[in-house]
Amino acid sequence: MLALFLRDIRLSIRAGGGALTGVIFFLAVIATIPFGVGPDLKLLSRIGPAILWIGALLSCLLGLDRLFQADREDGSLDLLVLGNDRHMLALTVLVKCLAHWAGSVLPLVVAAPLLGLFMNMEPLAIGATALTLLVGTPAITFIGAAGAAVAVALPRGGLLISVLVLPLTIPVLIFGVSASYGATANPDPFLQPFLILAALTLFLAVLGPVSAALALRHGTD
């Protein structure tokens, strides 16, 4: 299992991997917002956490279609499915999700504080947003794995995955953003939405890989 994790991390770093694509897309989205919204610094800092979250969410969805498709194209997926007796397929999917998160999504979380400066956010708001992203983005990957497994056989499944997955990520977005606001806006709570966000991630860490494994088992042809 560690071998699978390391292999997927290596693949995301080497040429053709998705590690940089997401970060650059994230940068592009956030950098254009101030030009579109205008030079109202107060407005920018107010919408900052929400924009960072939406940008990170869209960047997460960008690389998801390759999660299983690359393995399917070179035949590895068949062997991962066949290994079900040694390594439960749901566990294999979970490890692939974790590797995908560490390889492609963690760079987004790391880049988020820097991009927060573009949005004129206070240090506390930047810290809170980065923390909620760190806790919340794995949930997006886990839901995305289920979508990627359903669309694995489709040649251009990327858009379909986004359409399938986006409605399911809305709760994650809502609680992520409200926790980020809770850290700065005084009467709003921080801890409650943050704990619900953590619970969502844990819940989807089970549900996502199990449903993805089910879809993969029945998707081999």
Partner 1 sequence: MRLIAENLGGERGGESVFSGIGFALDQGQALVVTGPNGAGKSTLLRIIAGLLPKAEGGLLLEGGGEAFPSIASACHYLGHQNAMKTALSVAENLRFWREFDGSGDVGVEEALETVGLGGIGHLPFGYLSTGQRRRAAIAKLLVSHRPLWLLDEPTAGLDKASEARFAGLMRRHLGDGGIVVAATHLPLGIEGAKALRMGEAG
What b-and-e string marks burial along 114-137, b requiring 16 or more CB atoms within 10 Å of the CB?
Answer: ebbebbbbeeebbbbbbbbbebbb
Q: Rule CB under 8 A: say whether 82 interacts with partner 1.
A: yes
Binding string, residues 14-43; x marks residues near partner 1 by CB under 8 A:
xxxx--------------------------
Residue in 21, 34, 58, 84 binding partner 1, rule: CB under 8 A? 84
How far is 24 from 193, CA to CA, in rounded Å?
A: 29
Q: Rule CB under 8 A: say whether 160 interacts with partner 1.
A: no
Residue in 3, 36, 39, 156 binding partner 1, rule: CB under 8 A? 3
Residue in 20, 24, 41, 83 binding partner 1, rule: CB under 8 A? 83
Determine the size of the site formed for partner 1 (CB under 8 A).
27
Helices (runs of H) and strands (runs of E) counted in the chain: 10, 0
Nearer to partner 1, 77 or 135 (CB): 77
CA 60 vs CA 57, 79, 109, 136: distances in Å: 5, 27, 11, 11
Nearer to partner 1, 63 or 193 (CB): 63
How far is 156 from 66, CA to CA, in rounded Å?
A: 10
What's 85's DSSP letter?
Answer: G
Residue in 10, 41, 153, 159 binding partner 1, rule: CB under 8 A? 10
How far is 21 from 12, CA to CA, in rounded Å?
A: 10
Q: Rule CB under 8 A: say whether 4 interacts with partner 1.
A: yes
Ranges within 43-72 binding partner 1 (CB under 8 A)? none
Q: Rule CB under 8 A: say whether 191 interacts with partner 1.
A: no
CA 33 vs CA 94, 120, 164, 219: distances in Å: 34, 12, 26, 40
Q: Rule CB under 8 A: say whether 155 interacts with partner 1.
A: no
- Cβ 19 to partner 1, closest distance in Å? 12
Residue in 24, 28, 40, 87 binding partner 1, rule: CB under 8 A? 87
Q: Rule CB under 8 A: say whether 186 interacts with partner 1.
A: no
Spatial contact of 179 and 194, defined as CB atoms under 8 Å apart: yes
Nearer to partner 1, 92 or 129 (CB): 92
Spatial contact of 180 and 53, defined as CB atoms under 8 Å apart: yes
The contact set with partner 1 (CB under 8 A) reads: 1-4, 6-7, 10-11, 14-17, 73-76, 78-79, 81-87, 220-221
